[in-house]
Amino acid sequence: MAISLWHFMNCSKAKTSSLSDDQWESITMSLSDVWESIREGAYLGGPIWEHILGYWNTSKAKPDKVLFLKYEEVLRDPTKNIEKITEFIGQPFSDAEKEAGIVESIIELCSFEKMKASGANSTGSLHMMANEYPHESFFRKGVIGDWVNHVTPEMADSLDKFLSAKFYGSGFTFAE
């Protein structure tokens, strides 16, 4: 999550700025700045742990109303998770649909690669607040564990301890 945020933040361009594109290229947020903003609760939507715990706790209190999925788990077992979603919305696959390969077709159509390559996601931009976010900034790699290529062991340990304390007693864990 932190690495994705870091890359995303570095893709934005302030609409109101008088800086040229070349000048913008030299302005980036450091990973340590993003790390500290997460720790300080200065994440785009507020403290990330409150955001996660809000949905996590509601999914436990009202499992018929909120389905909580972890990206890593969806990637590891897409079939199980697609079926979980269809059951949650009250539209489970029939045996005939499963035999016809509908689940596999959905997995293929909703794959990271297909979504990233979609014309709607590869052109244009989103204007939010004073920033412009190119659509391609919403899709980077879509892989599990890329964070190890960007953070020091000290940063990983620090954030792990910090978030473990925030999630203590909730039953929430990050997917391995």
Find where tokens 């696959």 sit: 93
Q: What are phi and psi of 33, to 5 degrees?
A: -65, -45
Total-model pTM: 0.72
Domain count for the chain? 1
According to the model, what pLDDT value does residue 131 have? 64
35's CB contacts (< 8 A; 6+ apart) are 2, 151, 155, 158, 159
Residue 68, helix vs strand vs coil: coil
Find where tokens 């109101």 sit: 16
Q: What is the pLDDT of residues 5-42, one digit of tens each?
A: 666 666 665 544 555 555 555 456 777 777 777 778 77
Residue 167 vs residue 122, higher pLDDT: 167
Give the number of other Cβ atoms within 10 Å of residue 52's Cβ: 19
The domain containing residue 50 runs over which residues?
Answer: 2-167
Mean pLDDT value across residues 115-141: 65
Domain assignment of residue 31, yes or no: yes
Q: What is the pLDDT of residues 68-113, one digit of tens each?
A: 999 899 999 999 999 999 999 999 999 999 999 999 999 999 887 8
Among candidates 12, 69, 80, which has minimal Cα distance to 44?
12
Domain assignment of residue 175, yes or no: no
Residue 72 sits in a domain of what CATH number? 3.40.50.300
Domain assignment of residue 174, yes or no: no
According to the model, what pLDDT value does residue 20 have? 58
Residue 159 banded pLDDT, cuts 50, 70, 90: confident
Mean pLDDT computed over every residue of the chain = 80
